[in-house]
Structure formats: C-alpha cells, structure tokens
Chains A and B, each alone.
Chain A
Amino acid sequence: MPIHIIDRRLNPGGKSLENRQRFLRRAKSLVQGAVKKTSQERDIKDVLEGGEVTIPLDGMHEPRFRREGGTRDMVLPGNKKFIEGDYLQRSGQGSAKDSGPGEGDSEDAFRFVLSRDEFVDLFLDDLELPDLAKRKIAQTESEGIQRAGYTTSGSPANISVSRTVRLALARRIALKRPRKDEIEELEAAIAACTDEDEREVLLAQLEKLKAKTKRIPFIDPLDIRYRRFETVPKPVAQAVMFCLMDVSGSMSEHMKDLAKRFYMLLYVFLKRRYKHVEIVFIRHTDRAEEVDEQTFFYGPASGGTLVSSALQAMHEIVRERFSPADWNIYAAQASDGDNSYSDGELTGMLLTDKILPVCQFFAYLEVGESGGSAFDLSDSSLWSLYERLRNSGAPLSMRKVSERSEIFPVFHDLFQRRETVQEKAAP
C-alpha cells in the first residue's frame, strides 16, 4: 500500500487570518472597549506591544439548545467509602458538582491575544488632529503616481492596446491598405472568371494588392503607444506638535507620571497616524529648553516655574523653523497650574498675541495629586488665566487629570474625530 508522507511546514501560514479578521470586525466595539481598559492598567510603553485582552463572551456567544437542572445521574470513578443508600451533602466536598452534564455558564469572559498592529489600530481608531487645514506641497516622500497620456517608448507591461490598435487602424486607412474582404472578393472574381485576358488583369491586380498588404503592416512599430506615468508631489498637511511640559519642583512624581503618560500617548498617536508630523519637545522650569524625546521622557530636572519661558521658546522656534503659513501648528501643555504670580501677565500676553493666533489647537492639561479633591475647590493660577482667555474666545481646550485612569478618556476627548471643533472660535 503506498504511503504518502508530505511536508506541509512550508505551506503559507495564516490560513486563519481571514476568519480572525472577521471575528475582530464583528467584535470591534467590544475589543475596542477592552483595549482601552487594558491600556489604562499597563505601563504606557507596553501599550504599543499589543497583547492580551479580555472581552465579555456575551456579545460573541454562539447559542445552542442546552439542558440544565432536573434530576441528574452520574457514574464516577474512585469510590472509597460509599455504600449503596448513603447520602452525600450537596454543598460538601463538591463531589457532584464537578461532573455536571452541561458546560454551565462558567466561560463568561474570553481572553485572546492581539497583535501589535491590531492593538494600536483599535486603540487609536477614532482619533485625529483637529482642523488640519493648511495643505502644502511638501518636499519629500509624498509623491504619487499619476497617468500622464501616452508615450512612444516604455516597458511592454505598459502597452496601451486600445491606443495602439486605434493608431494602426488610422494608418491603414490613410495608406489605403487593402482590406481582407477586398482580396477575397477579387479571388472570388478570379475563380468565377472565364475570360483568359480578364483573368490576367485580375491576377495582376491581386498581386498588386497582396504586395501592398505586405508593404503596409497590420501593426507597425510606429503605432505602438505606451501608457505614461509621472510622479507628482502630493499636497500633504504638514503639522508640528509642541509638547510643553512643566518639570518644576512643584510637580510631584505622580504629576510628572501623568504628564508623561499623556505625552507618550500623544507621541504614539502622532507617530502612528501621521507621516508628516514634527514633534518638538520643550520642558521648562523657570527657563525653557528644547530637548530630544529621550531627555523629555526620561531626563531628570527640577527648579522654579515660569510658564512664559516655555511659550517664549515655542514662539521662537515657530518663528525660526515653522512658518505659520505652511504649517499646522498644535501645542499641548501640561502643568500643575502653579506659576509665579508676576509671570501671569506675560504668559497671557504671549498666548493671546503670539501663540494662539498661529495655533490650530492648543490643549492644556492640568495634572493634580491623586484623589486631589482640594484641587477642585480653587482653580490654579494658570487655570484661571486660561479660563479667562477661553471665555474671551481663544481656541483653548482645557482638562484636569488627577488619576492615571483618566488619562486616556481625556486624551480621547481632546483628539476625538469631530465634525466641527467647538473650542475653536475665530482667533
């Protein structure tokens, strides 16, 4: 008997991918909820690594007729001391409950692993930068390919058959290439012809036609046309996001953690969603400095607080590098709200005169101590300043956060995809 042994290991994998996508599509809202919940508990760096999520099984339940209850009989192995007629306590050693006939409702949650891409996609699914209005032709990597008529040279793959045939037809008509039925007609006439002389004439005529046919090819290399493509620069919305973080001494560890989480989310979101977004990190104490992301997230710093220094730095960077005519400018500021009293005026002035007019969107996040209810009672100096500005119509979004778990909802709230940006009134 012949036996076939086949090595299937090299077969393409991912046979279940399609089913998996169907499953995710169906469970989208559930998975999305789970993703958001999971991301609150995790260290922000790990959020992007994908991983396990748990969704309630209920939404994905496949119902069957199942029986339950009633009298049950079961045969079990391992009798040690029972004899016929004994009674066992129900809630006792659980001897009976282990071997119920149905599956019961024990499987109420469903755990599975999402890949990194699946996770982040779901995580950032409905977010976008608001009001990405200024579009400009950018310098690089934004080229698209576009059809651009026909050309006489090119690769065989790009031959345009219809165009080639059309040209060939035009040429054949212009040069009066004999048609096939003309020749056939003539041949028929010759066959029918009885007169020897006339036959000669006709034959000569046929000869001439055939020669002409040969001379004028059906398709000439001249006719051949290729589809032409050209690369065109695509307009791309360029954007820059300024991240302004207060790292002064009044910020506790907890507050810094909240702020960093917020920026990490922002960073991930921008990197993932937008190819052409620059991110500028500015941290400030009583003076501000532009730093790289490593320093921004992990470098230690401490000192007094002058918010205006950060705004000043931002203003200078905008002036030097990001012309407001070409760039969509965004800023997100995180602070505990403390500012030197004397600085308030300057801060307000900088914001209204320099920063807000060039900004598409300015988000202010005030971080507080965990469980900080005192922080609801009196507004911080910065908060009240900004609130005043907002009430006078400045495009500011403001949120307060005091718990880790609030970070994502607030973030989501700030960058939610929306039809109109309500915070934004004309500056």
Chain B
Amino acid sequence: MTERLFEGADWDFHTLQRITDACETVALKDLGLDVYPNQIEVITAEQMLDAYSSVGMPLFYKHWSFGKQFAYHEASYRKGLMGLAYEIVINSSPCISYLMEENTATMQTLVIAHAAFGHNHFFKNNYLFKQWTDAEGILDYLDFAKNYVMQCEERYGRIEVERTLDAAHALMSHGIDRYPGKKTLDLRAEEKRAGRRRQHEEEVFNDLWRTVPAGKSKSRSALSVERRRKLLGLPQENLLYFLEKSAPRLAPWQRELLRIVRHIAQYFYPQSQTKVMNEGTATYVHYRIMTKLHQQGRITDGNFLEFLGSHTNVVFQPEFDDPRFSGFNPYALGFAVMQDIERIVTNPEDEDREWFPDIAGKGDVMGVLRDVWANYRDESFIGQFLSPKLMRHFRMFHLHDDPEERAGIRVDAIHDERGFRRVRRELARQHDVGFIDANIEVVDVDLSGDRRLILHHHVIKGSQLNETDAKRVLQHLADLWTYDVSLIEVDANDKVLREYVVSPRPIPAAVA
C-alpha cells in the first residue's frame, strides 16, 4: 500500500512538495495534461487581499481605483460577508499559484490540483490564450508598466497621469482587438520597443522644427471620404487603439499609457470568454486527481469526505427562484458539461448518439476533452456540447422579456424536444462576449471641419447605453481626443435613436 500524503489537516512545505509530486504524476500520466512549469506560493490573507485589489496580478501600476477595490474587499472580508478565494492562479510561465496559508492539507491538495494543473493546462493549450496572451512575457511587461507609470508621474505629475489612466480605464472594455491580427503578442519586444521609441524621440527632438512655417497644406477637400476613412483605419472598434494612433494632441507618454492599458485589457480578454470552460476544466481536473489519489490510498477517507464537501459547495447551482441564485455558476455548468462529455464518450445512450455522433462511444475520454479544452470558448463549447440530458438535469428554460409585451414575460422554450436546440442556442449567446459588450465603433472624423470624432453604437434588441455612464465615458474620450465627440445610437435599420455630443473639458495646465 502506498504511503499517505498527509494525516489530518496540518501541512508543512515537505507535505506541499509531496502533494504536488503526487498530483503531477496523476495529471501528466493518467490525464495526459500539458502544463507550464509550476511555481507555488504560500500567502497570507492580507496578501490575498492585496492580490485581489490588483486584478490578481502580483505586481501592477499604482492607481487609486485599486485602493478603492482593496478598501471594498477588506471591508466585506472583515465583516465576514465575503470569504477569500482558496487560490489565485496567474496565466504566466512559470504558472504562479497562490495558496492561502489557512487552507487545510486537503484544501491545499484540492487547490494544487485545481490551479497548478487544471487552470495551468487550460492556459497553455486553449487557442484563445495562445492567440492573445503571452505567458512568458506578462510579468516582465507588468513590471515595465509599473515603472513606466511611476516615471511618468515623476516627469509629468501625478494628476496628469491619473487623468489619462482614468480615461483609459473607462474605455478599457473597448480597447480590445476582437479579431486575430497579423502576429501574436510579444510583450518583451513590446517593452523594448517602448524604450527605443522614447529614446528616439529624445534624440531627434528639435524645437526648431516647431517654429518652421508649414508649407501649403494639401487641399483637404480633395481627400474623399472613403480615402480618409481608410487612412484612419476606420471603422475601428478598438477605441484605445484608435486614440493611441490618431488622437491629435496626445503627448507620447500618454499614448504609451493608453497602449499599456490596452495590452492589459487584451491579456484578460480570453479569460472573460472562457469563464465556464476554464473553471470547468480546473474543477474536472481536481475531481479526477483527488478521486485517483483516494483510490491509490494516498489520502484518507476522512480527507476525501472533506474534499467532497468543498467540491459540492463549489459546483452548487441554485435554482432561479432560490434567493441565492445569481445566474449560472460557471464551475457548476462547466464541470457538469465535462462530466457529461465523459459519460457520452464512454457510455452513450441513443439520444447522445444522435446528438453527438462524433464523440459518442469513442472511448478516449481524455483525448476528447483535451481537444475540447484546446479548441473552444464558452459560447462554442455550450453551443456544441450541452446535451439534452443535461438540460433536463438543470431543468433549463428560456424566458423572453419584451417590454412592449403587455401579457408579461414569455416562456419561449423549455427542456423538451421542441426546445432543446433553442435553449442551447440562447444559453450559448449569453456567454458570447460579442453580445454582452456594447458594439461601439469609431466611424468617422470630421477632418475638414471641427475635427469631431463620430462614434456609432449599434443597438441590439433595443438595449441602449446607460445615460449617466455613457456621458461620463464620453467625457473621458473627449478629453483624450481634445475635440468634440459624438456618439450616435442606431438600430439595425440605421435609425438614429439617440445622440450624445460631448466637448472636452479645458485642461487646467498645459499638457506637454
């Protein structure tokens, strides 16, 4: 009989080492996972709160909004409203997992299996992460960002930097490229380039040229609308990118700040698209590893029961009329679908063979799952693999709420033969970032006139922008653009629903 990994709840660093080794064996041999090298760090509750307030990253630039986050989390933690996460894991290479020191030995095992192997495999293999993030470079880039912001504060003043960052943060959700570009991100090169760019600017700066009278400018009217839009790369939905490249009066350092915020937003973009899958993968992996360890006799029955207790809490899905309900629990949904895939692959029913001819009865569970983990995001994952059996299990139904409808909210489909496909399609759409974020793009700039920046919001299903927030964000946008900005909300038939026009605030002190 194999030796137990630990007894009771206590652990020390040797225990952690043994646990990690045991998990690694199961993860690599039995599950065939492919992970970044692991780095496991034990931290205190206070450090966990610190990490919370800087979006989970070990280092970040300074900004008041993170202080606000911290104050908020601290208050709710102290009051006992909020428990802290057992772990935080960072998509970097080596993959860093933070473990709380309060965890029992069983919890540490669970957390290591969950984060250091589950999440880690997903980060390394999912196509979105491969495409959009640079695990090797992220920590160095954050370090660069932190120092750069600090230098800017020294050179240009805290207030100025804060103003720019505030504006950039407001536009962060619209600072993302949604379609793969020509090349993948290389943050290390990015950092070097920023340094070189600055150096170059300093070298070639010559105040003389500013005073040289400009030649006769090209006749602006000759520029056709088409050509002008093409020159500016319009339409452009990445607002931060557009500002960085085309805003007329930003100082170079301000452009660099926008770039930093944009890169960080982009780094987190895959995570927002794969919440269900990411957590589902990690939960499925920890479940498999823990079960295996228990089978091997390396953890006791008591510890295994403790694990099952936490596991059940994690994958608990309250029903819609439960006061605890707040949407679908990504852990529960992801884990359920993956277990269901396991069932379909090994032990399918007729219904499954009809719905999933490709994988039903294929036998190789891990092969199928690894393929799923690599090539899907939440929307396509649910759209593809949510089975009728699972819809019946969760008793899913689809509500359609049209404010025009007097009779009330219509039940559009339920978990029956007629409704399966519609329920599934709708749930998939709920997890599509493209539908969640407002679709806003820059369509034109009035170059010959008052340089007004014109944006369109394509309204979907009559859902318009919150007015107060929209005005504030536009104010930030106008401050960066330094000329008027107008946002027009249009529906599918190009009918104008509402128009906002915002002028930039006067800048108290001259900006570089």
Contacts and interface: CB of A to CB of B under 8 A. Distances in A.
B46 to A, nearest CB: 5
Contacts of A71: 400-404, 461-463
Given A77-B394, A90-B409, 7 more contacts: A6-B40, A16-B50, A16-B70, A63-B170, A63-B476, A65-B465, A84-B412
A84 to B, nearest CB: 6
A19 B62 contact: yes
Interface string A86-113: 1111101101101101100000001111
Contact of A96 (B98, B317, B409, B430): B409
Nearest to B319: A78
B397 interface: yes
Contacts of B415: 79
A75 interface: yes
A73 B432 CA distance: 13
Contacts of A74: 398-399, 401, 426, 430
Interface of B: 13, 16-17, 20-21, 24, 35, 37-44, 46-47, 49-50, 53-54, 62-68, 70-72, 74-75, 78, 94, 98, 101, 162, 166, 169-170, 172-174, 317-322, 325-328, 394-404, 407-416, 418-419, 423, 426-427, 429-430, 436-438, 440, 457, 459-466, 468-470, 472-473, 476
Interface stretch (A20-28, A146-154, A218-226, A239-247): A20-28
A69 B43 contact: no
A98 B323 CA distance: 9
Given A19-B63, A86-B410, A62 B74 contact: no
B325 A87 contact: no
Nearest to A82: B411
A113 B470 contact: no
Interface stretch (A7-15, A157-165, A195-203, A388-396): A7-15
Contacts, number: 264
A3 B37 contact: yes
A180 interface: no
A70 interface: yes
A136 B427 CA distance: 78
Contact of B42 (A7, A66, A75, A78): A7
Contacts of A137: none
Given A1-B38, A23-B64, A65 B464 contact: no
A343 B7 CA distance: 83
Contacts of B40: 3-6
B472 A84 contact: no
Contacts of A21: 67
Q: Is the interface of B mostly helix, strand, loop or mixed?
A: mixed
B396 A79 contact: yes
B506 to A, nearest CB: 20
A65 B13 CA distance: 46
Contacts of B463: 67-72
A291 interface: no
A38 to B, nearest CB: 13
Given A8-B42, A15-B50, A70 B462 contact: yes
A64 interface: yes
A104 to B, nearest CB: 9
A19 B64 contact: yes
A85 interface: yes
A98 B322 CA distance: 10
B399 A87 contact: no
A16 B325 contact: no
6 contacts: A8-B43, A67-B465, A74-B430, A77-B395, A85-B411, A98-B320
B440 A65 contact: yes
A84 B21 CA distance: 52
Minimum-distance CB pairs A-B, first 4? A78-B319, A70-B463, A23-B67, A70-B462
Nearest to A85: B411
A79 B400 contact: no
Given A66-B465, A87-B411, A73 B426 contact: yes
A98 to B, nearest CB: 6
Contacts of A2: 37
Contacts of A7: 13, 41-42
B396 A77 contact: yes
B75 A113 contact: yes
A33 B248 CA distance: 40
B367 to A, nearest CB: 22
A82 B75 CA distance: 41
A18 B411 contact: no
A61 to B, nearest CB: 7
A87 B407 contact: yes
A20 B472 contact: no
Contacts of A98: 320, 325-326
Among B16, B62, B408, B466, the most chain A Cβ lie within 10 Å of the Cβ of B466
A76 B66 contact: no
A85 B404 CA distance: 16
Contacts of A25: 64
A22 to B, nearest CB: 4
A25 B415 CA distance: 54
Nearest to B431: A75
Nearest to A112: B71
Contacts of B66: 16, 19, 23
A193 interface: no
Among B71, B325, B326, B419, the most chain A Cβ lie within 10 Å of the Cβ of B71
B261 to A, nearest CB: 13
A72 B401 contact: yes
Contacts of A62: 65, 166, 169-170
A80 interface: yes
Contact of A5 (B42, B53, B399, B400): B42
A72 B461 contact: yes
A52 interface: yes
B411 A84 contact: yes
B326 A3 contact: no
Contacts of B49: 16
A418 B325 CA distance: 55
Nearest to A102: B466
Nearest to B68: A23
Contacts of B468: 63
A4 B94 contact: yes
Contacts of A68: 463-466
A325 B327 CA distance: 74
Contacts of A204: none
A112 B72 CA distance: 6
Contacts of B47: 8-9, 11, 13, 15
A173 interface: no
Contacts of A11: 47
A69 B403 contact: yes
B486 to A, nearest CB: 15
Among A4, A62, A85, A110, the most chain B Cβ lie within 10 Å of the Cβ of A62
A83 interface: yes
B133 to A, nearest CB: 21
